[in-house]
Protein backbone atom coordinates (compact mmCIF):
# COMPACT_ATOMS: atom_id res chain seq x y z
CA UNK A 1 0.00 0.00 0.00
CA UNK A 2 1.37 3.39 -0.92
CA UNK A 3 1.87 5.69 2.05
CA UNK A 4 0.31 8.66 0.31
CA UNK A 5 -2.47 10.69 1.87
CA UNK A 6 -5.24 12.26 -0.20
CA UNK A 7 -7.78 14.83 0.99
CA UNK A 8 -11.34 14.86 -0.33
CA UNK A 9 -13.15 18.06 0.75
CA UNK A 10 -16.87 17.48 1.19
CA UNK A 11 -19.02 20.10 -0.49
CA UNK A 12 -21.76 19.29 2.01
CA UNK A 13 -20.05 21.98 4.10
CA UNK A 14 -19.49 24.39 1.21
CA UNK A 15 -21.62 27.34 0.11
CA UNK A 16 -23.77 25.75 -2.58
CA UNK A 17 -24.90 29.18 -3.80
CA UNK A 18 -21.34 29.77 -4.99
CA UNK A 19 -20.19 26.22 -5.65
CA UNK A 20 -17.94 27.04 -8.58
CA UNK A 21 -15.88 29.43 -6.46
CA UNK A 22 -15.90 27.11 -3.46
CA UNK A 23 -14.37 24.28 -5.47
CA UNK A 24 -11.62 26.58 -6.73
CA UNK A 25 -10.59 27.25 -3.12
CA UNK A 26 -9.66 23.58 -2.67
CA UNK A 27 -7.54 23.17 -5.80
CA UNK A 28 -5.05 20.38 -5.27
CA UNK A 29 -7.50 18.11 -3.49
CA UNK A 30 -7.37 14.43 -4.50
CA UNK A 31 -11.15 14.29 -4.92
CA UNK A 32 -14.21 16.42 -4.35
CA UNK A 33 -16.52 14.45 -2.06
CA UNK A 34 -20.15 14.63 -3.20
CA UNK A 35 -22.67 13.39 -0.63
CA UNK A 36 -26.06 12.34 -1.98
CA UNK A 37 -28.71 12.10 0.76
CA UNK A 38 -32.28 11.08 0.11
CA UNK A 39 -34.20 11.77 3.33
CA UNK A 40 -34.90 8.04 3.63
CA UNK A 41 -31.67 6.15 4.32
CA UNK A 42 -30.47 9.27 6.14
CA UNK A 43 -32.62 12.03 7.67
CA UNK A 44 -31.48 14.90 5.46
CA UNK A 45 -31.80 15.64 1.73
CA UNK A 46 -28.82 17.12 -0.10
CA UNK A 47 -28.49 17.29 -3.89
CA UNK A 48 -28.57 14.99 -6.89
CA UNK A 49 -27.24 14.39 -10.38
CA UNK A 50 -28.20 17.83 -11.82
CA UNK A 51 -25.84 19.44 -9.29
CA UNK A 52 -23.17 16.85 -10.14
CA UNK A 53 -23.41 17.76 -13.82
CA UNK A 54 -23.01 21.45 -12.95
CA UNK A 55 -20.08 20.70 -10.64
CA UNK A 56 -18.24 18.74 -13.33
CA UNK A 57 -18.30 21.84 -15.56
CA UNK A 58 -16.45 23.87 -12.92
CA UNK A 59 -13.52 21.63 -11.97
CA UNK A 60 -11.02 19.08 -13.21
CA UNK A 61 -10.74 17.51 -9.76
CA UNK A 62 -12.22 13.99 -9.82
CA UNK A 63 -15.56 13.69 -8.04
CA UNK A 64 -16.10 11.00 -5.43
CA UNK A 65 -19.86 10.40 -5.20
CA UNK A 66 -21.12 8.90 -1.94
CA UNK A 67 -24.65 7.53 -2.33
CA UNK A 68 -26.37 7.70 1.05
CA UNK A 69 -29.62 6.53 -0.48
CA UNK A 70 -31.97 3.62 0.03
CA UNK A 71 -32.08 2.53 -3.63
CA UNK A 72 -28.55 2.52 -5.11
CA UNK A 73 -29.44 -0.32 -7.50
CA UNK A 74 -31.88 2.01 -9.29
CA UNK A 75 -29.94 5.27 -9.05
CA UNK A 76 -26.27 4.47 -9.66
CA UNK A 77 -26.59 4.75 -13.46
CA UNK A 78 -27.77 8.37 -13.29
CA UNK A 79 -24.71 9.41 -11.29
CA UNK A 80 -22.37 7.61 -13.66
CA UNK A 81 -24.01 9.41 -16.57
CA UNK A 82 -23.70 12.73 -14.73
CA UNK A 83 -19.93 12.35 -14.50
CA UNK A 84 -18.99 10.63 -11.25
CA UNK A 85 -15.38 9.43 -11.24
CA UNK A 86 -15.80 7.15 -8.23
CA UNK A 87 -19.09 5.96 -6.74
CA UNK A 88 -19.57 4.40 -3.34
CA UNK A 89 -22.84 2.93 -2.11
CA UNK A 90 -23.89 1.49 1.22
CA UNK A 91 -23.79 -2.24 1.78
CA UNK A 92 -26.80 -1.78 4.09
CA UNK A 93 -29.00 -0.68 1.15
CA UNK A 94 -27.89 -2.61 -1.90
CA UNK A 95 -30.09 -5.44 -3.15
CA UNK A 96 -27.42 -6.76 -5.53
CA UNK A 97 -24.13 -5.21 -4.44
CA UNK A 98 -21.90 -7.11 -6.85
CA UNK A 99 -24.13 -6.11 -9.75
CA UNK A 100 -23.71 -2.44 -8.78
CA UNK A 101 -19.93 -2.85 -8.60
CA UNK A 102 -19.94 -4.43 -12.06
CA UNK A 103 -22.10 -1.60 -13.44
CA UNK A 104 -19.70 1.03 -12.11
CA UNK A 105 -16.70 -0.80 -13.56
CA UNK A 106 -18.47 -1.24 -16.90
CA UNK A 107 -18.73 2.56 -17.06
CA UNK A 108 -14.97 2.80 -16.58
CA UNK A 109 -15.26 4.27 -13.09
CA UNK A 110 -14.02 3.28 -9.64
CA UNK A 111 -16.37 1.36 -7.34
CA UNK A 112 -16.54 1.83 -3.60
CA UNK A 113 -18.55 0.20 -0.85
CA UNK A 114 -19.52 2.16 2.26
CA UNK A 115 -20.56 1.01 5.70
CA UNK A 116 -22.04 2.71 8.73
CA UNK A 117 -20.42 2.73 12.17
CA UNK A 118 -22.91 0.12 13.39
CA UNK A 119 -22.24 -2.28 10.50
CA UNK A 120 -19.65 -4.99 10.96
CA UNK A 121 -16.56 -4.96 8.77
CA UNK A 122 -17.35 -8.59 7.97
CA UNK A 123 -20.37 -7.45 5.92
CA UNK A 124 -17.85 -6.47 3.24
CA UNK A 125 -15.96 -9.75 3.08
CA UNK A 126 -17.40 -11.11 -0.19
CA UNK A 127 -17.02 -7.75 -1.97
CA UNK A 128 -13.45 -6.92 -1.02
CA UNK A 129 -11.83 -8.74 -3.98
CA UNK A 130 -13.73 -6.59 -6.50
CA UNK A 131 -14.07 -3.06 -5.06
CA UNK A 132 -11.54 -0.29 -5.55
CA UNK A 133 -12.33 1.52 -2.35
CA UNK A 134 -13.95 1.01 1.05
CA UNK A 135 -15.56 4.05 2.65
CA UNK A 136 -15.61 3.76 6.43
CA UNK A 137 -18.08 6.10 8.11
CA UNK A 138 -16.57 7.50 11.30
CA UNK A 139 -19.85 9.22 12.21
CA UNK A 140 -23.43 8.16 11.63
CA UNK A 141 -24.28 9.48 8.15
CA UNK A 142 -26.76 12.22 7.47
CA UNK A 143 -25.28 15.58 8.39
CA UNK A 144 -21.96 17.30 8.85
CA UNK A 145 -20.13 18.53 11.92
CA UNK A 146 -20.40 15.35 14.03
CA UNK A 147 -17.76 14.01 16.39
CA UNK A 148 -15.41 11.26 15.30
CA UNK A 149 -16.26 7.76 16.60
CA UNK A 150 -13.12 6.47 18.37
CA UNK A 151 -13.62 2.80 17.42
CA UNK A 152 -13.08 3.64 13.73
CA UNK A 153 -9.34 2.85 13.53
CA UNK A 154 -9.85 -0.71 14.75
CA UNK A 155 -12.57 -1.23 12.15
CA UNK A 156 -10.15 -0.05 9.46
CA UNK A 157 -7.57 -2.57 10.65
CA UNK A 158 -10.15 -5.35 10.52
CA UNK A 159 -11.12 -4.44 6.96
CA UNK A 160 -7.49 -4.48 5.87
CA UNK A 161 -6.95 -7.89 7.46
CA UNK A 162 -9.97 -9.24 5.58
CA UNK A 163 -8.75 -7.68 2.35
CA UNK A 164 -5.28 -9.16 2.81
CA UNK A 165 -6.83 -12.60 3.21
CA UNK A 166 -8.33 -12.14 -0.26
CA UNK A 167 -5.14 -10.71 -1.72
CA UNK A 168 -7.04 -7.44 -2.25
CA UNK A 169 -5.77 -3.90 -1.74
CA UNK A 170 -8.71 -1.48 -1.72
CA UNK A 171 -8.16 2.17 -0.95
CA UNK A 172 -9.54 3.00 2.50
CA UNK A 173 -11.47 6.25 2.71
CA UNK A 174 -12.78 7.68 5.99
CA UNK A 175 -15.65 10.14 6.32
CA UNK A 176 -16.80 11.90 9.46
CA UNK A 177 -15.18 14.11 12.07
CA UNK A 178 -11.88 14.22 10.21
CA UNK A 179 -9.58 17.04 11.28
CA UNK A 180 -5.92 17.52 12.09
CA UNK A 181 -6.73 16.02 15.51
CA UNK A 182 -8.13 12.75 14.12
CA UNK A 183 -6.30 12.35 10.80
CA UNK A 184 -3.30 10.61 12.34
CA UNK A 185 -5.51 8.02 14.03
CA UNK A 186 -7.11 6.81 10.82
CA UNK A 187 -3.92 7.06 8.76
CA UNK A 188 -2.01 4.95 11.25
CA UNK A 189 -4.74 2.31 10.93
CA UNK A 190 -4.49 2.25 7.13
CA UNK A 191 -6.72 5.00 5.70
CA UNK A 192 -5.29 6.90 2.75
CA UNK A 193 -8.18 9.10 1.56
CA UNK A 194 -9.67 11.45 4.14
CA UNK A 195 -12.97 13.23 3.67
CA UNK A 196 -13.07 16.59 5.44
CA UNK A 197 -16.03 18.95 5.32
CA UNK A 198 -16.26 21.45 8.15
CA UNK A 199 -12.53 21.25 8.86
CA UNK A 200 -11.83 22.55 5.34
CA UNK A 201 -14.76 24.69 4.23
CA UNK A 202 -15.21 26.43 7.58
CA UNK A 203 -11.54 27.43 7.59
CA UNK A 204 -10.49 30.87 6.42
CA UNK A 205 -7.54 29.37 4.52
CA UNK A 206 -8.75 26.13 2.91
CA UNK A 207 -5.35 25.18 1.46
CA UNK A 208 -3.73 25.55 4.87
CA UNK A 209 -6.49 23.45 6.45
CA UNK A 210 -6.01 20.66 3.89
CA UNK A 211 -2.24 20.78 4.34
CA UNK A 212 -2.54 20.54 8.12
CA UNK A 213 -4.85 17.52 7.89
CA UNK A 214 -2.52 15.83 5.40
CA UNK A 215 0.53 16.57 7.57
CA UNK A 216 -1.19 15.17 10.65
CA UNK A 217 -2.13 12.04 8.70
CA UNK A 218 1.39 11.68 7.36
CA UNK A 219 2.75 11.92 10.90
CA UNK A 220 0.35 9.13 11.85
CA UNK A 221 1.98 6.82 9.32
CA UNK A 222 4.95 6.59 11.62
CA UNK A 223 2.66 5.13 14.27
CA UNK A 224 1.21 2.33 12.10
CA UNK A 225 0.07 -0.65 14.10
Catalytic residues: 35, 175
Which segments of 3-113 does DSSP mark as H helices, in order?
A: 19-24, 49-56, 72-81, 97-106
Question: How far apart, in whole angstroms, are the C-alpha atoms of residue 99 and residue 2?
Answer: 29
What does the angle CA 198 – CA 64 – CA 67 come to, to the nearest 5 degrees? Answer: 90
Question: How far apart, in whole angstroms, are the C-alpha atoms of residue 41 and residue 178?
Answer: 22
Question: Environment class of residue 88 by beta-carbon count within 10 Å: exposed (0-12), middle (13-18) or buried (19+)?
Answer: buried
Q: Which of 60, 63, 87 is nearest to 75 (CA)?
A: 87
Q: Which of 77, 23, 78, 28 is nearest to 55 (CA)?
A: 23
CA 156 vs CA 9, 124, 140, 161, 188: distances in Å: 20, 12, 16, 9, 10
Question: How far apart, in whole angstroms, are the C-alpha atoms of residue 102 and residue 108?
Answer: 10
Compute φ and ψ for 123, nearest 5 degrees.
-65, -15
Amino acid sequence: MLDEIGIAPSILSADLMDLGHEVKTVAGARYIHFDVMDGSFVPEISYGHPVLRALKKTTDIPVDVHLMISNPDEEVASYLEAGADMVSFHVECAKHAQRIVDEIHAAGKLAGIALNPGTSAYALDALLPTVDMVLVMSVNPGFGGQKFIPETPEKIRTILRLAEAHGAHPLIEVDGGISKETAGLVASAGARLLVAGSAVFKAEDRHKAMAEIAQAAQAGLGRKA
